[in-house]
Amino acid sequence: MKTYPQQVICKHCDSLYTRQSVRSGEAARCQRCHAVLYRGSWLSLEQWLALTVAAAVFFIIANLFPVLEIQFHGQSQAATLAETTMALAHSYASPLAIPLALLIIVCPCLQILLLGWVLWHACRNKIAPGFAPVMRLLAGLAPWSMAEVALLSILIAAIKLSGLVHITTGPGTWALLGLCLLLPVINHQDFHSLWRLKTLKEKRG
Ligand SMILES: [Zn+2]
């Protein structure tokens, strides 16, 4: 099978380009439609891995600690992200519960785990087992990972309920905020550089 590792196609207008190296923080754009073709990574592999690990820590805190605490008639009730989704499953909006859980819990979790897997091996100058399917899965997951949807729904719920009950945001919400800030950073690095490393490694044997 013939492969073309140096060719890049514009997703928007199908123009074909030969890949050039871009400096960190810069983007290569399509000449025809000006869409971004790829960006230069502004993080080293080690920094990229460190931020992915930080995202994993934020993800764990966001899922283990309460996102909302409600005080009503002297009683206090705290809910984690999973409990909030479960509550939705038992309400009139139950058809939304599974897609919501996928968007805010399953997809970000998979994304962080898979990226961490590939980067951890790349930092040790190795090719991660299952590299190609993992990278394809990562590309497919990117548009479906929406931690910010969770943050937005929590804030809307907090604002709506604040007139009826005393409501405070828990540590889970702050971790979710951290996750929402980190995910776009780790997802907007140059994934092609990982493929390039793989090709180089294979050439050297
Ligand atoms: Zn284009």
Q: What is the total count of domains within the chain?
A: 2
| One domain for residues 49 and 32 | no
- pLDDT of res. 50: 97
| One domain for residues 133 and 173 | yes
Token representation of residue 136:
């394809």
| One domain for residues 89 and 116 | yes
CA of 7 to the centre of ligand 1 (A): 14
- Separation of alpha carbons 46 and 30, rounded Å: 30
CA of 31 to the centre of ligand 1 (A): 7
| One domain for residues 28 and 15 | yes
- pLDDT of res. 16: 93
- pLDDT of res. 99: 81
CA of 27 to the centre of ligand 1 (A): 13
Burial (CB count <10 Å: 0-12, 13-18, 19+), residue 75 = exposed
- pLDDT of res. 24: 78
- pLDDT of res. 87: 79
The pTM for the full model equals 0.81
| One domain for residues 36 and 103 | no
User: Residue 8 contacts by C-beta under 8 Å, 6 or more apart in sequence?
Assistant: 16, 17, 18, 19, 28, 37, 38, 192
Nearest to 148 by CA among 112, 171, 178, 121: 178
CA of 13 to the centre of ligand 1 (A): 4
| One domain for residues 148 and 68 | yes
CA of 34 to the centre of ligand 1 (A): 6
CA of 100 to the centre of ligand 1 (A): 32
Q: What is the pLDDT of residues 56-71, one digit of tens each?
A: 999 999 999 998 888 8
CA of 111 to the centre of ligand 1 (A): 27
CA of 19 to the centre of ligand 1 (A): 14
| One domain for residues 81 and 10 | no
Question: Which residues does the chain have with pLDDT short of 70?
Answer: 1, 5, 205
| One domain for residues 88 and 173 | yes
| One domain for residues 50 and 81 | yes
CA of 16 to the centre of ligand 1 (A): 9
| One domain for residues 60 and 34 | no
Residue ranges making up the domain that contains 6: 1-40
| One domain for residues 36 and 63 | no
| One domain for residues 14 and 81 | no
- Separation of alpha carbons 190 and 23, rounded Å: 11
